A and B are shown apart, each in its own frame.
Chain A
Amino acid sequence: MMREEIKEKPEVEGVSRRSVLKGAVTLGALAAGGGIALNMSMPGTAEAAAKKLPAKWDEEVDVLIIGSGFAGLAAAAEASSRGRKVLILEKMPIYGGNSIINGGEYASSDDKYHIRQKLNLGEDSTKQHFDDTMKGGDYYNNPALVKIMVEDAPATLNWMMDQGGLKMREIASRAGGHTAYRARTCVAGVGRCFTEALKKMAEQSGVKIRLETAVTWVWRKDWEGPVLGVEAVTGKRTKNIKIKHALVFASGGFGQDIKMRQDFNPSITPSVNCTNHKGATGETIRYAQAIGADALQLAFIQLYPFAEPETGILDTSAVFPFRGPGIGIVYVARTGKRYVSELDRRDVCSRAAIATDSKPTYSIFNEKMTPLLGSAEELKKGLENGRFIKAETLKDLAGKIDIPADVFAETIRKHNQYLADGKDPDFNKPITAKMLPIVDGPFYALPQWPAVHHCMGGLRINEMAQVVDVWRKPIPRFYAAGEVAGGVHGSNRLGSNATPDAIVFGRIAGTNAAKEKPMA
């Protein structure tokens, strides 16, 4: 239907569809500007008005990247190391998007220091990582993309350690949905350590980041030609920026775009909290769609089951429940009972929490487990700001969080027994020898509640990170990576997979963008 609409569009500068298909319009003619831009916006919207291609460009760069999180910075580092002049546009006043505030977890089956092996945490392989990711996403994932992510994850982690000065903690966690201890944590315990490493690498080779600059349009002349550049606004000034080699979208998800959330998944009501930064809105997806890009699985929106209940933020305390399942952390509802297998996936944990219908739920752990859950500093900070509730006995802890003490004590006793038996008859949790019983105090509780966290869907990309159009053809010179792209995680992303996804595909996008020949 869209094809027909375009065909009949009289404004396409008198170029018939046939002549376009024959290639009568050369790239050179496009680059010269002028004429009408490709525009598939909704009729009746401002964008739907005939939009003229810029007669002259205000600026030209080799590779233009939209977004300065993991994917954008990785793409920038790769493209600039190949000698390209790279500019990153970031609409927010700080760089880093969701990446700089993420939990600092990176799923990888191995690393140059072999931390998992050193800690004697069992086996893992790229195959196992692949299988877990596919299963966790209910096989909605694009297997080709998953394969690339799991296979490139270890080398990409080493790349950041070798060239960006990234430092990792000596822990590996088994998080929900994973069958191995493969979630690695950077030293600062927040995504900033990855963004800083990547930014350092990018800036070493001359990448510039322009803050508070929002894309307001993508220029493409017709449905066969390449993207030409973008329209972007900084303060009061609008500029048209032309690309010489390629455009990379690394503009993140749309967790904060309540209207878009509602459009695709009305079950996530506007009142549901969100862990994302305020800039996580979906306009770049719409701009890409308006020039023919395909998008997929936009209804798959993940809730993080353990966000701070009041504001929905994912602070350093809120990462403890994520790292906990492999070592025996227990989640309890306000009834004092468990409500889910702690090793289950995020969507299952979130749904189970919401089904308790009594905010919040709690993560329960003891002193002995804390070194495996986070740093001493994080624990101290969490106690100081009242996030962690601490008590010497389970009874006192129950009193402090106002849940029935006897039911709670029985829950913990039973769970300890399940660990000893190697069997969880209540929720069928796969018990491992690394799980610790909660026997000695002091004991801790952390309130938690689901909040919108990650958009699994997004722009359709291929293995080259090229954006694919609605006819399944790559849009020339247009790449996407990270949360803005869809298809890697299927219906449910496994925790700690977002970081390798964004960085691995950011590198691919940046590498391929740099390899594009200059536009005539």
Chain B
Amino acid sequence: MKRILLSIFLMAALLCLHYFVAGSRTAEAAKPAAASCQACHADFTSVLPKGHPPAKGTGLAACTSCHAPDLTGIAKKNAFSSRMHTAHVGPKGSLDCTACHTWVPNKRFGLIGQKWSWGAPKKEDMDLMKEIFISWANSGHTDTLHAKAGIVCTQCHGKELPKADDTVENSRCLTCHGPMEKLALKTEPKDFKGRNPHKSHLGDIACTVCHKGHRESKVYCLGCHQNFQMKIQGAAKP
């Protein structure tokens, strides 16, 4: 049922693509886009899960009044923002960010109808975020694996908007995947116990050496140990 609802949601979002792209071009320059979802959703009943109380209103506030946006950058699964982005980013980055977000270049970035700001992204930051969101939704890299589990930017990157050279600290990954010793046990090969990528002669290294968030993951070990049999999730598609 959930899946069907999601597909309807996605299709609706796609149908609205044209409207939003065309609309945003003029709206962006003039004033923040209207906080209305009505263009696509006459009401929200069709997209709400079964048993969800009726959502009042026509704008974003209909959701955010209960689902308060996460301002703490906590790492948790299946956050509301993840589901919203999965539905609206679409397979090809269809919806413009400003459909829901307010953005004043170099000054603030928030949600329509809300006062707080997550940061002050420049145009290049915004372009990068869009690019990354598309990767997140589609690439098959580590980001997509996380998208499928309902993990959005903040749950890896923290509460600030990630910068171009941002990385994810091991401690952040280990919040869900740790502790390290336990993780290492999971990947200990049966035949050669010493060939454990999570307990190697390189000592304490960053998870991101192999596990790339937004590009192909590669087993770093194989650069030298060409005869090792090792696989990694989020690798290049065959």
Contacts and interface: CB of A to CB of B under 8 A. Distances in A.
B202 A311 contact: no
A410 interface: no
A244 to B, nearest CB: 22
Interface residues of B, number: 19
B202 A192 contact: yes
A381 B194 contact: yes
Contacts of A381: 194
A96 B202 CA distance: 9
A235 interface: yes
Listed residue (B201, B208, B224) with the most chain A CB atoms within 10 angstroms of its CB: B224
Contact of A278 (B165, B202, B224): B224
A235 B193 CA distance: 34
A196 B192 CA distance: 26
A130 to B, nearest CB: 33
Nearest to B165: A234
Given A235-B164, A237-B164, A385-B194, A196 B203 contact: yes
Listed residue (B165, B193, B225, B227) with the most chain A CB atoms within 10 angstroms of its CB: B165
A196 B224 CA distance: 21
B226 A311 contact: yes
A313 interface: yes
Contact of A94 (B164, B195, B206, B225): B206
Interface in B185-235: 192-195, 201-203, 205-206, 208-209, 220, 223-227
Contacts of B192: 384-385
B206 A93 contact: yes
A235 B165 contact: yes
A384 B224 contact: no
Contact of B203 (A192, A211, A237): A192
A93 B209 contact: yes
A192 B201 CA distance: 8
A46 B164 CA distance: 26
A101 interface: yes
A282 to B, nearest CB: 18
A235 B225 CA distance: 25
Nearest to A211: B206
Given A235-B165, A384-B193, A311 B224 contact: yes
B209 A94 contact: yes
A159 to B, nearest CB: 21
A311 B201 contact: no
A200 to B, nearest CB: 12
A311 B225 contact: yes
Contacts of B206: 93-94, 211
Contacts of B164: 235-237
Contacts of A101: 201-202, 224
Interface in B149-167: 164-165
Nearest to A193: B203
Given A235-B164, A237-B164, A100 B224 contact: no
**A contact face: mostly helix, strand, loop, or mixed:** loop
Interface string A175-215: 00000000000000010100010000000000000010000
Nearest to A316: B201
Contacts, number: 47
B153 to A, nearest CB: 17
A420 to B, nearest CB: 39
A237 B227 contact: no
A310 interface: yes
B220 A385 contact: no
A454 interface: no
A313 B226 CA distance: 9
Contacts of B209: 93-94
Nearest to B228: A311
A384 B194 contact: yes
Contacts of B225: 311, 313
Interface in A303-324: 310-311, 313, 316
Contact of A313 (B195, B203, B205, B224): B224
A277 interface: yes
Given A235-B165, A384-B194, A277 B203 contact: no
Contacts of A196: 203
A93 B220 contact: yes
Interface string A347-385: 000000000000000000000000000000000010011
Contacts of B220: 93-94
B208 A190 contact: no
B205 A385 contact: no
A278 B201 CA distance: 16
A196 B206 CA distance: 15
Contact of A311 (B195, B203, B227): B227
Nearest to B195: A385
Contacts of A93: 206, 208-209, 220
Contacts of A190: 201
Contacts of A310: 226-227
A317 to B, nearest CB: 11
Given A192-B202, A385-B192, 16 more contacts: A93-B209, A94-B202, A94-B206, A94-B209, A96-B202, A100-B202, A190-B201, A196-B203, A234-B165, A235-B164, A235-B165, A236-B164, A310-B227, A381-B194, A384-B192, A385-B195
22 contacts: A93-B220, A94-B202, A94-B205, A94-B206, A94-B209, A94-B220, A96-B202, A100-B203, A101-B202, A101-B224, A192-B201, A192-B202, A237-B164, A277-B223, A278-B223, A311-B226, A311-B227, A316-B201, A381-B194, A384-B193, A384-B194, A385-B194
The 4 closest A-B pairs by CB, nearest first: A93-B209, A278-B223, A311-B226, A234-B165
